[in-house]
Structure 1
Amino acid sequence: MNGAQVLSRAKDFLYKNARLLDRKRYEYHFEGGSNVEVVDVLKAYQNQDGGFGNALEPDLRCPQSQPVPTELALTIMEEVHYFDPHIVKGIVKHLQQITLPGGGVPFVFKNAKHYPHAPWWKTEEDCRPSINPTGKILGYLYKQKAFTDFCQEEWFLKNEQFTWDYLEHGSPTGYHDGIQWITFLENVPDTNKADKYWPALDDWLSRPGTIERNPLAEGYVHKVLDWCPVSTSYSRKFISDEEIHNHLQVLIRQQQEDGGWPINWHALSPGTELEWRGGITVERLRTLQSYGMI
């Protein structure tokens, strides 16, 4: 199957099944669509407190603002190269309120339990800081230039110090931890300080088992193209051209009959599975595009 066929089948899947947000992402990346339109749709997920909820993260159905959906909003704006200043100001307002006394934001708030959610989206306390999503939130706040008045505010400095202290502990504990390290270190202005931590991260990334090398591995694992979704990804230097080629070939074969790509975890419901598959399908197409396959 050639690249045009892969893209055509995926487009059909997206327009049959995906959220408007992911259709607009597809249009931006593959049909000359507007990044402003992507972000305009994103605004619907933002709450009055400035944070994001409303099932922007499909397995977290509560309407209230949560840290990971707020991180995801920053990720989407970074993806389409448009940080809306009003959205960023709202996020800053929200982070001012949820930053913990010792720095860091939680992984999830306990109010999530009052709505349908995947098993990992629950907690009995709101006071435990987590590098996930604190690291990426800081990384993208550094990267964006739409609104920067907060950089010397106490809440922001506390989050910085929490992240530096966390990096002192040694190595990441898994994929979701590792990508927080990478995004933070790639964007932190103090590159001299960041240089101290790259060796520990590189050592961890090069260890057997950190990056799943088997393109046919099953279950909730993170393979070569999860670590290197685009050709310029930081982790690319730990992966051979042959491995990239093999994983790309398998990725194409994993496109399903309906044109979308599957998820590798248990979905909360049939509806959330389609929401996830829409987003994942856009991600898979972006990867294939980055490596010149479509």
Structure 2
Amino acid sequence: MSSTELFENARGFIYSNARLLDRQRFAYWFEGGSKGSVLEALAAYQNEDGGFGHALEPDIRCPQSQPVPTEQALIIIDELEAYDTELMSGIIRYLKSITLSEGGLPLAFRSLMAYPHAPWWITERDDMPNLNPTGHILGLLMKQPRWAEWSQEEWIQRNLRFVWQAMEKPEPEEYHEGVQWVSILEHAPVTPQTSQAVEKLDGWLAKKGVIERDPYAEGYVQKILDWVASPDSYAAKFVTTEELDLHLDAMIKQQLADGGWPISFPAASPLGELEWRGSLTVDRLKTLRAFGKL
């Protein structure tokens, strides 16, 4: 299959199946669409408290604001470099309101339990801080021009103390925790503390099995392109050009007959699966283009 055929098949899948948000993301990245159209679609997921819900994270179907959907909103804002969006004032207000007394954000709130959700989102308490997504959220905020202003606020300082304490362990325990380390260490100022954490993170990333080298490994594993979505990804230094080419070729072959890419985990619902696949298909196209395959 030529790259043109791959792209046209993916385009057909997205316009046939993806939610409006991902159709607008696709249009922005590949068809000259506007940032404003993406942000307008994203705004529909924001609540009055400034946080995001309404299944922006397709495995959390509740309408109420949750930390991880709010993290996902920040990811989209970051990919657009739309740092002056009005959505940010609400996000900051929400994050401040859910920062726990000793620092840290919860992974999730019990409000999701009243709605369909994936089994790994079972939540029993609202007051348990978690490095995931606290670290990634702080890392995303550090990239914004207003970070110097926000970083002086007491709630941010509480969250930073929590994150650095959580990173005192010898290494991350798994992928989702590792992502938090990467996000913080990519953007935090260089200090003896950050240098020591980078050494621990790099030692862990170099371990066998942390970055899955088999492009056809099955199950919920994190392969090279999950860690290295573009040439400037933090983990790029841990893979070779030959390994990247092998995984890019495998990614191309894994496009399904309907034009979209599959997810590697069970979805909360058939609609949730399509929503994930639409988002993932845009991400896959971005990765293929970043490495010159599209």
Q: Name the TM tier (shorter chain).
A: over 0.9
Q: Partner of 1:145 in structure 2?
A: 145
Deviation string, structure 1 residues 207-261 (Cα, Å, up to 9, x no partner): 0010010011000111000000111111011001111011111100000000000
Unaligned 5+ segments in structure 1 are none
1:21-170 paired onto structure 2 within 5 Å: 21-145=21-145, 149-170=149-170
Give the CA deviation at 1:192.
Answer: 5.3
Q: Partner of 1:18 in structure 2?
A: 18
Unaligned 5+ segments in structure 2 are none
Give the CA deviation at 1:85.
Answer: 3.9
Q: Aligned AA for 2:110?
A: K
Verify the 8 A CA contact 1:219 1:265 in the aligned structure 2.
yes
TM, length-normalised to structure 1? 0.97
> Which SS does the other structure have where 2:196 is aligned?
coil
Residue 235 (structure 1) aligned with residue 251 (structure 2): no
The CA distance in 1 between the partners of 2:123 and 2:41, in whole Å, is 30
Q: Aligned AA for 1:104?
A: G
The CA distance in 2 between the partners of 1:200 and 1:47, in whole Å, is 38
Q: Partner of 2:290 in structure 1?
A: 290
Aligned length: 294
The CA distance in 2 between the partners of 1:29 and 1:86, in whole Å, is 21
Give the CA deviation at 1:49.
Answer: 0.4
> Which SS does the other structure have where 2:129 is aligned?
coil
Q: Partner of 2:224 in structure 1?
A: 224
Give the CA deviation at 1:189.
Answer: 3.6
Verify the 8 A CA contact 1:14 1:23 in the aligned structure 2.
yes
Q: Partner of 2:185 in structure 1?
A: 185
1:238-249 paired onto structure 2 within 5 Å: 238-249=238-249
> Which SS does the other structure have where 1:197 is aligned?
helix
The CA distance in 2 between the partners of 1:71 and 1:139, in whole Å, is 11
Verify the 8 A CA contact 1:263 1:277 in the aligned structure 2.
yes
Give the CA deviation at 1:68.
Answer: 0.4
Q: Aligned AA for 1:34?
A: S
1:188-199 paired onto structure 2 within 5 Å: 188-190=188-190, 193-199=193-199
The CA distance in 2 between the partners of 1:79 and 1:52, in whole Å, is 17
TM, length-normalised to structure 2? 0.97
The CA distance in 2 between the partners of 1:13 and 1:201, in whole Å, is 37
Q: Aligned AA for 2:38?
A: V
Q: Partner of 2:171 in structure 1?
A: 171
Q: Aligned AA for 2:66?
A: Q
Residue 9 (structure 1) aligned with residue 17 (structure 2): no
Q: Aligned AA for 2:213?
A: R
Give the CA deviation at 1:193.
Answer: 3.8
Give the CA deviation at 1:146.
Answer: 5.2
Give the CA deviation at 1:84.
Answer: 3.8
Q: Partner of 1:281 in structure 2?
A: 281
Give the CA deviation at 1:153.
Answer: 1.4
Deviation string, structure 1 residues 166-188 (Cα, Å, up to 9, x no partner): 11112111111111111111112
Identity %: 51
The CA distance in 2 between the partners of 1:63 and 1:127, in whole Å, is 20
Verify the 8 A CA contact 1:109 1:122 in the aligned structure 2.
no
Give the CA deviation at 1:196.
Answer: 2.3
Give the CA deviation at 1:111.
Answer: 1.0
Give the CA deviation at 1:150.
Answer: 2.7
Verify the 8 A CA contact 1:10 1:260 in the aligned structure 2.
yes
Deviation string, structure 1 residues 20-63 (Cα, Å, up to 9, x no partner): 11011111111121112111111111100011111000010001
Q: Aligned AA for 2:239?
A: I
The CA distance in 1 between the partners of 2:83 and 2:120, in whole Å, is 29
Verify the 8 A CA contact 1:39 1:84 in the aligned structure 2.
no
The CA distance in 2 between the partners of 1:159 and 1:114, in whole Å, is 28
> Which SS does the other structure have where 1:196 is aligned?
helix
